[in-house]
Structure 1
Amino acid sequence: MHKKILILDFGAQYSQLIARRVREQQVYCELHPYDVSEAFIREFDPVGIILSGGPNSVYEEEAYRASQAVFELGIPVLGICYGMQALTHALGGMVAPAQAREYGSAKITHIEANPLFAGLQPPLQVWMSHGDRIEQPPRGFTPLAASDNSPYAAMGNVGRGLYGVQFHPEVAHTPQGVDILRNFIFDVCGCQPKWTPASFIEDSIERIRAQVGGERVLLGLSGGVDSAVVGALLQRAIG
C-alpha cells in the first residue's frame, strides 16, 4: 500500500483543493471531517495530517476541534489558516482577534531555515484570509515567517514535525504554495510520488477480492455515480 495523507476538513472552501494538490504530487490522500476518532486515525495509518482552514474562531465555545490524538500520535501535522489556529489552541498557545482582518495578497518575510520552506527565498507572496491570529505559539514552537499583520504567519516544532501556516498554500494566489506542500509531503512526511488513479483502482480490486473471497455479492445499484463505480470495481474484481 502507498503512504497516505489524511486531510481533516474544518469547513473550508478550499478543502477539496488541498486534496487535489496532494494528488497532483502522485500521493494518495483522503478528505474526512475534522472530528474523526483516534481509532479511525490509527486504522487509516497516515504518514501526515493536514488540517484545513475553516470559518470559525477557535476560542468560541462551538468551534470545531480535532481529536487531541491528532497531535499526540507522532504523526507530522500541517495546519492551514484555521487549522494552524486549531493546532495552536489544542497545544496551549493563544489565538485572538487580529486588529485588522487580513484578506488577500500579502508578503511573508523573516523566514527561518526549516524543512517546510526549504529552497524558498523571502519575501514570498501568499494569500491570506483570516480575522484571528496567533498571539502566542505553543511551547516548543518557533516563528518561521511573519507578515505585516501576523507575527506568526508560519510556525513550527521541527522536532515533532508539527507546522502551521496562516496563509493558504493550496491556492494559485500563493505562487510557491505547491513547493511548501511538497516539502511537507515529501521531506517531512517521507512520501514518494508513486500513486496514480490507476493504482487506486488496482488497490481497490485487491481489497475487494480479499474481503469477498469466494462469496457472492448483492449490490443495490441506484444509478448514481457512487454505486456505479462500486459496480464497475466489483465486475473487474470478481466478475
Structure 2
Amino acid sequence: MTKIVVVDNHGQFTHLERRALRDLGVDTELIDNDTNPEKVAADGVVLSGGPDMDRTGRSAEYLEENVPVLGICLGMQLIAEELGGRVGGGEYGGYADVTVDIVDDDDPLTGSLYPETRVWASHADEVKELPDGFELTAKSDVCDVEAMSDSDRDLYGVQWHPEVAHTEQGEEIFENFLAICETQ
C-alpha cells in the first residue's frame, strides 16, 4: 500500500489533508514538521499549509528525499522559496472562493481539472516568481501563480486548499498526487 505522510506546518486544515488521503485508502500519517525526514519511510509527502514560514521546522529537508512532494498553500510557498523562487504578500489577502484557470492540461497534478475549477484559497502570501525548473500550471484573477509543477523532480504546489469542502474538485488533486506517488 502506498504511504503518504502529511507534514504538519500548523495549518487549520492540516487534519483534513490527512483525512482526504485516508478516505482514498492511502496509508497516511500526520507528522510534526520537526520530524527528521531520514526517519520517515513514505512514497510521498504533503507539506501542509500553515500560518508562518518561520514555523515550518524541517519541512524544507523533505525536498531532498527523492519522493514526490505536494505543497499546499504555505507548503507551496516553502518549495518556491527554498528552490530559488520568490514569495511575497498577495494583494487580495484572506480566504476567498476563486475561479482558477488551469493553463497546462498535461500536468499530472492539475491537468485533469482543465480548463478551470473553483477553489478555496488564502492569498495573504503567494508565489511571485517560480523557481528554476518549475512551470506555471494554474492562475487566477487574484493570483498569478495558483499552482506550479516540476514533474522532472516530482515537486508540485497549489495555492488553494484541496482538502476543504469549498474546493470543488479537491479530492481529484489528492487522487492525482496518489497516482504520481504510485508510479515512482
Which aligned pairs between 1:74-153 and structure 2 lie closer than 5 A?
A: 74-112=66-104, 113-153=106-146
How high is the TM-score relative to the length of structure 1? Answer: 0.72
Report which of the two has the higher share of helix. 1
The two structures have a TM-score, normalised by structure 2, of 0.93
Deviation at 1:184, TM superposition (A): 0.4
Gaps of 5+ in 1: 192-239
2:21–2:28 Cα contact (<8 Å) kept: yes
Say whether 1:35 aligns with 2:44: no
Equivalence map 1:1-239=2 (5 Å): 2-41=1-40, 45-56=41-52, 58=53, 62-112=54-104, 113-185=106-178, 187-190=179-182
1:142–1:102 Cα change, 3 Å: farther
- 1:90 shift after superposition: 1.4
Q: What CA deviation, in whole Å up to 9, does each residue of 1:12-69 have, x standing for no partner? A: 111111111101001110001112113222xxx100000111011x3xxx34243443
Supply the AA of the counterpart residue of 2:93: R
Secondary structure at the counterpart of residue 189 of structure 1? helix
Contact 1:6 1:50 in 2 (8 A): yes
Q: Which protein has greater RCO, CA pairs closer than 8 Å, 6+ apart? A: 2
SS of the equivalent of 1:92 reads coil
Where do 5+ consecutive residues of structure 2 fail to align? Answer: none
More strand by proportion, 1 or 2?
Answer: 2
Percent of aligned positions that are identical: 38
Question: How many positions carry a matched residue from both structures?
Answer: 182
